[in-house]
Amino acid sequence: MANKAETIKAVAAEAGVTASDAERTLSAFFDLVAAEAKAGGKVTWPGFGTFSMSERGARMGRNPQTGESIEIGPSRSLKLATAASMKKQLMS
């Protein structure tokens, strides 16, 4: 699955629902994950993994064009800790 439309079509076919129902469901899931992670929580899907926020501290970097040292501020990012069973499935 390369893009959103193909993913929605595949989910709809697998679940036996319309594409619009699949899109609403997937959108609701991703909205929930984003809201929960932003609030500092985690969303765990057994057999798949756990979504949570990852915080990166400030650090020094370098401007690649000038070589000048610059400070890169702290940032937050959504991360997925893959479940062991999913890792095993992907490696086989």
Give tens-digit pLDDT for 31-89: 999 999 999 999 999 999 999 999 999 999 999 999 999 999 999 999 999 999 999 99
pLDDT value at residue 1: 52
Give tens-digit pLDDT for 3-15: 999 999 999 999 9
pLDDT value at residue 2: 75
In the chain, % helix, strand, coil (3-state, to 5) comes to 45, 30, 25
Give tens-digit pLDDT for 22-45: 999 999 999 999 999 999 999 999
Q: Which residue ranges make up each domain of the chain?
A: 4-91
Q: What class is the 4-91 domain?
A: few secondary structures
